Structure formats: structure tokens, C-alpha cells
Structure 1
């Protein structure tokens, strides 16, 4: 929770209760005496939020739970945790090409820690404001630290990017770089050491991922399928292959990586690139004749994109090395109940 003052009282001397907590740290619109605006006609303060979808659009809804010790470490700063809690949901919306509109936060706290809550709210709202998404409600309770966010976005009817549209001979693309978050985790586990500068670089990728919302919207009508990389490239692209009834071949040498990861032993690179979770990049497919338009979409979104493979008719995922030889024993991605 953080090493702060652990204040439990209001400024008037009375204990800080649930609704005081909500008002002080999360009730920004209510305190300002304004409506939320956009898709949220009425947010925090009533039993339900009132949402107004845009004409001709479809709603997209996603939910993610972050549990201390499972999804984040106790050493993460509250500001970074607030950012990540929302970022993982925005990444799901990005994978569907959605424009973020509203989100709901359910928060379990073992104790009231005002410094923690202030930092958490800061990181949460910095990202929310940058992406134009509004906190419209939620819940708080006492218990082990647990963060639940449900986020809503919208997309013009019929233009959502899905996992089920990949076609044989499509190119496979990915945004950004892969594997840094997993590399940071290995440092935390004590399996390797990095310089302070290198560690901070990869730790930032782990603790403050940047959701690729602009890229997702730029890929509407261009990508045939998409998914975000949350549990590892090999596993997440597998969801696309299953839903689309196709297979894929990825080129290990073409998987984008940072200079820090690129300096690591090849076996560690392969592990991080193929199975590293918490990247929150987009992996997507598009026809070969759309290559120039995909590159232009990446430039317009300010996000580099890389062509890393192709969609095949034969089921399953195959990975080949720089010589085109099959990579044996492709490692498996993270699974909450098998890992």
C-alpha cells in the first residue's frame, strides 16, 4: 500500500469513511459542480451512471482485475499503479479500435492510506485525461488490495476490430517492442542483473505501459484482426488463430526488441519476446496489399509497427529463425491457473 502517514481521519477530526474517501480522491466532477460531459451524462453521486452513446456507434465493454502479488508488486509506486490499472483496460479497447468513453473503478483497500490514494488517483486521472475517458462510478470496500476497472468505449457500427477476421496470407504485425516487462520481472525475481539505467527503462515498461489507443483507431477498416499482448505474444496471437480458424508463422529475428533486451542471451530474448506478459502492444493482421497503409497508420498514431510473420492455412503457431528453420519448443505464455 505504500509507506505513508496512514491517516484515517477527516480534517474535522472524524474518521475518513467510504464516501469521504470517494469524494476526496475520486469525486472530481461532483466537487466542481459540473456534469461529466461526453458519453457520461451523470457520473459519481447516484446509484447508477447515465451514459449516452453516440448515434450510429456500438459500445465496447472490458473488465480487468489487478491483484497485489499477482499482477503488480508491492514495490510499485501508487502513481504508476493508478496508471497501469487503467492502461490495461484501455489496451483492450485499443485492440478493438475503440474510442474510450467511461470507466468504473472498484477498489478494495486493507486500510485508508491517504498518500497512497493521492498517488494512485494522480496516475489514474493523468492517463484518463490524456485519453479523454471519464470515471463514472464504482465501489470501495475494505479487504486485500484489489483493483477492478470496467472500461467502456465506442466504435462506428460494424468497424470494431475482432480476433476472428484473420485470413490466409495476411501479414502479421506488432506495435512497439516486446519483452521488456518480462525482463524487468526477471530482475525482480533475482535471475539477472541490469544497470540502474537499464532496469529503470524496462521497469517503466512493466509498470507504466502505454495503451495503443490511437493506433487501434487508425487500424479501423484496415486490420482484419487484432489483440493486445497482455500474457505473451505466443499465447495472445493464439487467440486470433483459434477464433479465425487459421495458423501462423512468425519470424523470430523480426520480433522488435529494445537495445536492453537485444543485449541479453538469445535464450532469454526468446523467452521474453514470445511469452513476456505486460507488453500491452497490439498484434494484428492485414492483407499484403495494405502494407504501405499500415505503415502510414503507425506513423499517424506515433507508434512504430513491424511485420513479423504471415497467416497460414495449417492450424497452429510456428516460429522460425533467421534461416527459416523451425524453432523447437516454443515456450508457453502466462496462464493464471497453469503458471
Structure 2
């Protein structure tokens, strides 16, 4: 099967490749055409995923298709953007029809859940990897940035942290587990759900935001640096799922939440007077600390004493 037949058969025919909404023209020409409403800006982000680094090889292709698009789309959530579409550049060592069919099916399922359309890309031969570029739109001046946190703001996250990191030993085959808890953690690893609606609800309320990909401590450092402030995290207020605590134990669960990464939930700073409205509307807002004058990230225990930060998060060139 040649490159163009592969694209037509597995990707151009998928439901997510149909034009519509903000996509005027999708796959089939040299470029896609996007129509951005007046008063809005394009939000664009690119992620590369490499076998053996971002996912184990071999792995289930359906799950990989879901995960690949979800982790990329999460960047749009972190900016408060409404999704439009994505491109996929896929490098394959060889053509495996069954693998491609399942990968495309997983990709299409996540695209449907995120209201994303496949608008183009490329296929090449080589070591298994994929690069996805996602496109969204956001009203002018309303994008969530990392640089607006102010002393006195609350530091919040969008849900329980650490589940995906807790699943990693199972994903890598270092631990066997056939329990309800393990299944819950594996769902968070293979099928994270970008918090798109929460990101849009935070427009005009949050002073800074991002999605948590490299670990809470590492990603909060990005907000602290961009905003020229210090973020104080109260260790006891970091939300953990019951599944993670039962599976890994409280101490290890906390380490997963602080430095494990792969959560793809939002971390954001919020003025205190905005919290009641967000909570009354039912948004998953968990206060874990606050913003102070200073620099960097500080972790404290229940008595307010500083806790040493061991593993701050993932970095491709130091881990």
C-alpha cells in the first residue's frame, strides 16, 4: 500500500476528516482552509510522540490513537481555546493494516469527544513516531496565559492528580495488576480527557493557567517564572484519587501527583472572589495553595513547614 492510498483508506475516510464548522476545506488539497470568526485568534500547538519515550512499543494502537490526540488537545484547554482541528504527521517502520485500522479508530474516537477535525498531515517511513499540531480559537484578549498570576490569588487544579503516573509501572510491564484500581489508572494514562470546557469557563476569571503534563511541581514552576511570583503548594490539599491511594499507598500516590506528570488536567491561579462562582457552577476546582511575592515553587506540610522537593517533574534532557 502506497503513502497516498494509506492516507485515503485509514485517515481521509474517517468521520473526523469531514469538513464542517470552522474547517472550510480539510484533507485533499495542498492546504486546509480554516475560517476563524471575527474577533477571535488562532491558538496553535505542536506535540511529538516517540516510541519508547512517550509510549511503550509495542502497545495497543487504539489506545495510542486516543492518547496521542488527547495530550495534544490538552494544550488548547490550557489556553481556554475552542478546538477546531488537527494535523497528523505519522512515521511508520512498515505498513500494518490491522495496526493502522485500530490507531485510526482510536484517533477518531478521541476526535469526536473533543470536537476536533483531522485537516491534514503526512506519512513517512522510519522509527514509529507521530507529530500532531492542534488548532483552536479564542476571543481576542481572552486566552489563558502563564504570565498573569498575582500575589493573593488561589492556586487550583482541575481534579485528582497522579493517576497516569501511578499506571506507568503497569504500562511498562514492571508490575502486573488486574484490579479495579489498576483499570481506573490505566484509563487515565491511555485516555486522558482534555479539560476544554473548564478552560473556556476560566476565560476572564483565571489570571494564569496551563495543562499539567510534566508534573505539578514542574508545571507550576512555569507559571511562577512567567508571572514573576512564588507559588505555595499545601501538600495536604493536593487531590488524590481513591484508586491511586489504594493501588500505590498514600506516600507514593503523593509523589506521583507532585512529580509524575501525564495528568493533562489544568493548573490555574484564580482571584479568591471568583472561586464561589466557579464552585456554584459545578466546575472541578480544587484549591491547593496560593500565590505569594517571591519566586519559584514552595511545598509545605500541614504545619506550614517547607518540604524538600525531590523529583520536580519530567525533562527530556535530564531524565
With the shorter chain as reference, the TM-score category is over 0.9
Q: CA deviation at 1:115?
A: 1.1
**Match of residue 278, structure 1, among 229, 243, 262:** 262
Q: CA deviation at 1:135?
A: 0.7
* Mapped contact 1:184–1:202 kept (Cα < 8 A): yes
Residues 55-88 of structure 1: CA distance to partner in whole angstroms, max 9, x if unpaired? Answer: 1100000000010110011243211111111111
Partner residue, 1:37? 20
Partner residue, 1:312? 292
Partner residue, 2:101? 118
Q: CA deviation at 1:193?
A: 5.8
Residues 109-157 of structure 1: CA distance to partner in whole angstroms, max 9, x if unpaired? Answer: 1111111111111111112122221111000011111011000000111
Residues 21-49 of structure 1: CA distance to partner in whole angstroms, max 9, x if unpaired? Answer: 100111127x99x9601222111111111
* Mapped contact 1:248–1:316 kept (Cα < 8 A): yes
Partner residue, 1:229? 212
Is 1:326 equivalent to 2:306 in the alignment?
Answer: yes
Is 1:199 equivalent to 2:179 in the alignment?
Answer: no
Is 1:76 equivalent to 2:59 in the alignment?
Answer: yes
TM-score, normalisation: structure 1? 0.89
Is 1:218 equivalent to 2:218 in the alignment?
Answer: no
SS at match of 1:81: helix
Larger Rg: 1
Partner residue, 2:224? 241
Query: Unmatched 5+ residue regions in structure 1?
Result: 1-15
SS at match of 2:55: coil
Between 235-244 and 321-330, the greater mean CA deviation after superposition: 321-330
Q: Compared with structure 1, are the counterparts of its residues 314 and 142 closer, same or farther at alpha carbon in structure 2 (3 Å cutoff)?
A: same
SS at match of 1:176: coil
* Mapped contact 1:319–1:330 kept (Cα < 8 A): no
Partner residue, 1:11? none
Residues 155-178 of structure 1: CA distance to partner in whole angstroms, max 9, x if unpaired? Answer: 111100000010001000101211
Residues 184-241 of structure 1: CA distance to partner in whole angstroms, max 9, x if unpaired? Answer: 1134456666443222211111111111001101111111110100000000011000
* Mapped contact 2:215–2:259 kept (Cα < 8 A): yes
Q: Compared with structure 1, are the counterparts of its residues 218 and 196 closer, same or farther at alpha carbon in structure 2 (3 Å cutoff)?
A: same
Q: CA deviation at 1:260?
A: 2.4
TM-score, normalisation: structure 2? 0.95
Partners of 2:258 and 2:144 in 1: how far apart? 23
The CA RMSD over aligned residues, in Å, is 1.9
Query: Unmatched 5+ residue regions in structure 2?
Result: none
SS at match of 2:146: coil
- Aligned positions of 1:1-339 closer than 5 A: 16-28=1-13, 36-188=19-171, 194-263=177-246, 264-297=248-281, 299=282, 304-339=284-319
Q: CA deviation at 1:305?
A: 2.0
Partners of 2:173 and 2:61 in 1: how far apart? 23
* Mapped contact 2:77–2:199 kept (Cα < 8 A): yes
Partners of 2:19 and 2:178 in 1: how far apart? 45
Between 327-336 and 140-149, the greater mean CA deviation after superposition: 327-336
The count of corresponding residues between Structure 1 and Structure 2 is 318
